[in-house]
Structure 1
Amino acid sequence: MRKQIPDADIAQLMLWIWIVVVLVAIALFALWRRWRKAHPPPTIPPKLAYSQTLGKRLATGRRGVGKTKSKRGPPVSGGPRGG
């Protein structure tokens, strides 16, 4: 079987289409890079050491130190249960 060579007009058209696709891709990539430099992603705060997280957890528990816990009495009876 012989390989068929496409007509010159069709080959040129396909070449121009590929050139346009590559140029558009390069332009979009350049625009995307420029946009990413202008809008960097938010920075993630560094992870705290265990002692620091423990201190924060203990501090949240101590916020209500001045308050006394109210004693709870027996639950109020709502009467006999209907069955």
Structure 2
Amino acid sequence: MKIVWSDAAIGRMTAPGRYVAPARFGTDPNSADESWSVVLEFEKLDRGTARFLVETAPHHLLQSGVTFEMYAGRTLAAIVSVI
């Protein structure tokens, strides 16, 4: 997957690394107000893998073509595109 970090987050990230944060999926109309904890594992700052923190998450949202946003509190930390 491709990861684009916000300016606020990029200074704190180092590769390889791991980032766990709430993610919002705009592609799922049933979860407009829901967020799910996602674990990013990356070897390079712009590439990595993602998985949900819990088994009961909607795993179908981590399929090719999906884009989601990850947050640090209310601040956008990263935009992730599944490729």
Report which of the two structures shows the higher radius of gyration computed on alpha carbons: 1
Please give the range of the TM-score, normalised by the shorter of the 2 chains: under 0.3
TM-score (norm 2): 0.13
Larger strand share, 1 or 2:
2
